[in-house]
Chains A and B, each alone.
Chain A
Amino acid sequence: MLLTEKHIKNYAIFYLICFLTNYAWFIANGLLFSTLKPVFFLNRLDITGNILMLTNLQFWLTHNQWLRMVFDGIYLLLPCLLVYACYTEKKFQTLLAVLTALASIIYNYFFSMMSFVSIEVFVAWMFVPLIFIARSARAFYFGIHTVRLLFILFFFSTALWKIRGGGAFNSDQMSGILFSQHTSLLITNETNLFSRLINFLVSNQKISYIIYLLAVILEFLFVAGFFTKKFDRFLIIIFCLFIFFDYYLMEINYFTWVPFLGCLYFSRHTINELSQNKLSAN
């Protein structure tokens, strides 16, 4: 199938739906700057992050409710404006895409320092807006393929980390993880179904280790994405399974990564022969 400008709009809508759904989840849980009203931060070994902190924004945010509201407002407004610009084919779409990505980096860096949410959860909001720099099908083609490769690299690296860190070779890894993730639940609530499921998995190390190994294998399968686009729809299913279990079993919300799936969905679309020949001739 040929990639057209219409697909940019389709992806933009998909991105906005994902963003608004996630934003609503964060509102429902009081997870915005203006509702959380954070008073402290936990710094981490992050070169860019520490440079950002030289602006003193962390103190401005812990002391000024008006700034927290401005931050939440801009964070919501930029993706909406970006999608509007894509839809109406405005010239400032390119500038907005860059601004949205930069604003996401700043907002999410400070938000993760001041809340319980890890920064890695927000990665899609930093990269996906860059796809909409594209105003032509050809630029969109290169945008989605560049971000697709980054997404595959990120996800594949999680498998490599589990091998390098040694988790993949530890037979009580998943039992240990579930025990540490759900200790409060296991000591206070022994009767509900979820608690019984976790107790069963923690007690049965072999079964839980198989789940962990299966997760490592599924993450490792993403390596195929470096060589072929043939299995991209299959990778979408694997990824959906992964975030589903992450949410319901581990209680970690990785639905924020769903916007990356657009890259896998559109990856098998091609650009027209003329454009490709032009590229080869150059």
Chain B
Amino acid sequence: MFIKKLYTYNKLLAIAFICFVSCFLFLNYKWGMVATPVYQFGMFSGPIHLTDTQKVYKLYVNDEQLDITKYRFAQKDIMLVSLEKYTASKNGNSEVFHTMNYFFSKMGWRHLMNEVVFTNDCNDLFFTKWFMKVVEAAIGYPVKKLTLYSQLYVWKENKPKPINLPKKEIFIVAN
């Protein structure tokens, strides 16, 4: 058995290996927190239905809608996922802090936790300036005006169909 051989070869390495695997199994069983470099590889594992509503961001650059799909997928993701992540960070960071704070308190490390350390110091204006540069780098021409809309879609009759009117997102403030 490999573990036995490993233990004979190097006790420390064998113990480290067993600890890592135990930690991996425990965190995966508990289903919640991870501890870098121990992760959960559960992407796309929960039920995702075709009937689920999808939120789509629509970018208007200099008053013209940008066809994001023309760009390489990494460029597309930099633009779209950055918007998703920024909005998620607004409440998400605070929620993560409170969960971690509870955990750290239990471990007796509460004194280490300070919400400021886990909160972005970036506001909407600052984010917009950065985002305009990201869009400029992707599309290759200057962005003078930037507007962002979001719209909800569902899959109906073999096509994505909008279920509401486009809603202007106010966290992009470049008008």
> A166 is contacted by which of B47, B50, B76, B88 (Cβ under 8 Å)?
B47
Interchain CB contact under 8 A, B96 and A43: yes
> B9 is contacted by which of A39, A138, A185 (Cβ under 8 Å)?
A138
Cα–Cα distance between A29 and B79 once the two chains are bound (Å):
12
Q: Specify the chain A residue showing the minimal Cβ separation from B73.
A: A251
Cα–Cα distance between A188 and B65 once the two chains are bound (Å):
10
Instruction: Indicate the member of A43, A176, A177, A179 with the most B CB atoms within 10 Å.
Output: A43
Q: Specify the chain B residue showing the minimal Cβ separation from A172.
A: B50
> CB-CB contacts of A115-134 with B at 8 A, as 1s and 0s?
11011100100110000000
Interchain CB contact under 8 A, A142 and B6: yes
Chain B residue contacts of A42, Cβ below 8 A: 85-86, 88-89, 92-93
Cα–Cα distance between A50 and B54 once the two chains are bound (Å):
31
Whole-angstrom distance from the CB of A130 to the nearest CB of chain B? 10
Q: Specify the chain A residue showing the minimal Cβ separation from B157.
A: A203
Whole-angstrom distance from the CB of B44 to the nearest CB of chain A? 5
Cα–Cα distance between A255 and B13 once the two chains are bound (Å):
28
Whole-angstrom distance from the CB of B115 to the nearest CB of chain A? 11
Which candidate, A54-62, A88-96, A231-239, is the interface stretch facing chain B?
A54-62
B175 interface residue per 8 A CB criterion: no
Interchain CB contact under 8 A, B28 and A157: yes
A165/B49 contact (C-beta < 8 A), A42-B88, A47-B35, A126-B37 known: no
> CB-CB contacts of B7-41 with A at 8 A, as 1s and 0s?
01110010001001100100010001111110111
Chain B residue contacts of A138, Cβ below 8 A: 9
A150/B20 contact (C-beta < 8 A), A29-B75, A167-B44 known: yes
Interchain CB contact under 8 A, A146 and B17: yes
Whole-angstrom distance from the CB of A198 to the nearest CB of chain B? 11
Interchain CB contact under 8 A, A161 and B40: yes
Cα–Cα distance between A126 and B36 once the two chains are bound (Å):
10
Cα–Cα distance between A260 and B46 once the two chains are bound (Å):
26
Interchain CB contact under 8 A, B80 and A184: yes
Q: Specify the chain A residue showing the minimal Cβ separation from B114.
A: A54
Cα–Cα distance between A143 and B9 once the two chains are bound (Å):
11
Interchain CB contact under 8 A, B158 and A199: yes
A100 interface residue per 8 A CB criterion: no
A34 interface residue per 8 A CB criterion: no
Q: Specify the chain A residue showing the minimal Cβ separation from B47.
A: A170
> A183 is contacted by which of B2, B40, B54 (Cβ under 8 Å)?
B54
Interchain CB contact under 8 A, A40 and B89: yes
> B42 is contacted by which of A126, A158, A253 (Cβ under 8 Å)?
A158
B69 interface residue per 8 A CB criterion: yes
Interchain CB contact under 8 A, A43 and B32: no
Interchain CB contact under 8 A, B36 and A48: yes
Interchain CB contact under 8 A, B37 and A46: no
A1 interface residue per 8 A CB criterion: no
Within 8 A of B (CB), among A41-87: 41-54, 56, 59, 62
Interchain CB contact under 8 A, B127 and A40: yes
Chain B residue contacts of A245, Cβ below 8 A: none
> B41 is contacted by which of A36, A37, A161, A203 (Cβ under 8 Å)?
A161
Chain A residue contacts of B67, Cβ below 8 A: 188-189
Q: Which residues of A contact B (CB under 8 A)?
A: 29-31, 36-54, 56, 59, 62, 105, 109, 115-116, 118-120, 123, 126-127, 138, 142, 145-146, 149-150, 153-155, 157-158, 161-162, 164-167, 170, 172-173, 175-177, 179-180, 183-189, 195, 199, 202-203, 205, 251, 253, 279-280, 282
Q: List 13 A-B contacts (CB under 8 A).
A: A30-B137, A42-B85, A109-B36, A127-B37, A142-B9, A153-B24, A157-B41, A166-B45, A172-B49, A173-B47, A179-B155, A180-B48, A279-B5
Given contact pairs A40-B89, A48-B36, enumerate 8 new A-B contacts (beta carbons under 8 Å). Answer: A30-B74, A39-B130, A47-B100, A120-B41, A126-B37, A155-B41, A177-B44, A179-B52
